[in-house]
Amino acid sequence: MLFIKIKDGNYDLTIETRSDDEIADLSNEFNKMAQDLRRSNEEIKNSLAQKEVLLREIHHRVKNNMQIIRAS
């Protein structure tokens, strides 16, 4: 169930343990992996937003240039 939630984009989930054994080590590694996924996902979203802004700016400039060419 936990993996399905992470697959769906919920990276805030963590596994809490009260022991100090291999299961706790695996849980800690899983929590680190979920944090890394969240960080990577945020970086990808930010990068996509920047690219969308640049694409809109390019579209605007091309549109203006086409209007100038048509007016000539």
Which CA distances in Å does 71 have to 59, 63, 64, 66, 68? 18, 12, 11, 9, 5
| Segment 23-65, tens digit of pLDDT | 889 989 989 998 999 999 999 999 999 999 999 999 999 999 9
Residue 17's pLDDT is: 81
Three-state DSSP class for 1? coil
The pLDDT assigned to 5 comes to 74
Note the pTM of the prediction, 2 decimals.
0.68
pLDDT of residue 16: 83
Look at residue 2 and tell me whether its pLDDT is greater than 70. no
How far does Cα 6 stand from its chain's mean position?
13
